[in-house]
Amino acid sequence: MPILSIGIDGCRSGWICSYTKDQIEYRFEIFPTIQDLWDILSNALKSINLILIDIPIGLRDNGSEPRLCDKAARRYLTRSRSSSIFPTPCRASLSAKSYVDANQIHRNMTGKGLSKQTWNITAKIKEVDSLLRRDPKASKVFIESHPELCFAALSNRVPMKHYKKTKEGVNERLSIIESYSTNSKEILNNVSHQLSNENVSLDDILDAWILAISGSKGRANLRFLPEIFEYDSEDLPMRMAIPYFI
């Protein structure tokens, strides 16, 4: 039975989803919320058992120590791309209505302020955290990953040289995807055109795509950073998946 592989990345319009059943033809859709995505996909595609998503899963309640998976991911990406791993917020800060409030809550709970980069994705972190805490099935299917880790893993552990939003960065990442998906340049152009009104950038498409590729051979061909990982107070694993099939 073909493995249904799904990769998800956040974008301005919500979430971009890349999926395939045959490891050849990759399709793309936009969903406004993660709940909408889960409701539609889990009903329409009964064989879902793995979704790789670029969003933190498993959060600290307090304390200044970063998640072990964040530290492991930065080491894996070396100084070249380690800055792409943003600090993860404490769970209490997800309830804040403004950056000022979130920053204060985070400082109270951890002794450190909250970065603006992290605040910008806090609403999406809250979406996923809420879904996984209330839906046991979803919590077994969604696995945290990171596109930069996947690109590096599928490039013989060599992190990308160029920033993903530059022309050089797009071409560099597309060259990795070309090894796993035929007609990738044409697909990227078509998808970019189809989603031109959705506030989706080329790097959003590539990020979701590499996550779908990374999960295309199933859980047995994933490994985790770190290998021995923690669980948070809600029993959600704090780990990042990377492909391990080359």
Residue 234: pLDDT band (50, 70, 90) is very high
For 181-226, the pLDDT digits (tens) are 888 999 999 999 999 888 899 999 999 999 999 999 889 999 999 9
Q: What is the mean pLDDT of residues 238-242?
A: 98
For 94-153, the pLDDT digits (tens) are 999 999 999 999 999 999 999 999 999 999 999 999 999 999 999 999 999 999 999 999
DSSP-assigned states of every residue in 160-222: -SS-TTSHHHHHHHHHHHTTTSTTHHHHHHHHHHHTTTTT--HHHHHHHHHHHHHTTT-GGGE
Q: Residues with Cβ < 8 Å from 152, sequence gap 6 or more?
A: 76, 77, 81, 158, 159, 160, 242
For the chain, the average pLDDT equals 93
Q: What pLDDT, on a 0 to 100 scale, did the predictor assign at position 107?
A: 97
Residue 5: pLDDT band (50, 70, 90) is confident
Q: What pLDDT, on a 0 to 100 scale, did the predictor assign at position 43?
A: 74
For 147-188, the pLDDT digits (tens) are 999 999 999 999 999 999 999 999 999 999 999 988 899 999
Beta bridge partners of 62: none
CB 61 within 8 A of CB 90: yes
**The CATH number, out of the four listed (3.30.519, 3.30.70, 3.30.420, 3.40.50), of the domain defined by the range 1-59+128-246:** 3.30.420
- The total of other beta-carbon atoms located within 10 Å of residue 246's CB is 11
Q: What pLDDT, on a 0 to 100 scale, did the predictor assign at position 1?
A: 45
Give the three-state DSSP class for 126. Answer: helix
Question: What is the Cα–Cα distance from 75 to 67, expressed in whole angstroms?
Answer: 13
DSSP-assigned states of every residue in 66-115: PPHHHHHHHHHHHHHHGGGSPPPPPGGGGG-SSHHHHHHHHHHHHSSPPP
Residue 246: pLDDT band (50, 70, 90) is low
Domain ranges in the chain are 1-59+128-246
Q: What pLDDT, on a 0 to 100 scale, did the predictor assign at position 41?
A: 82
For 41-62, the pLDDT digits (tens) are 877 666 678 899 999 999 999 9
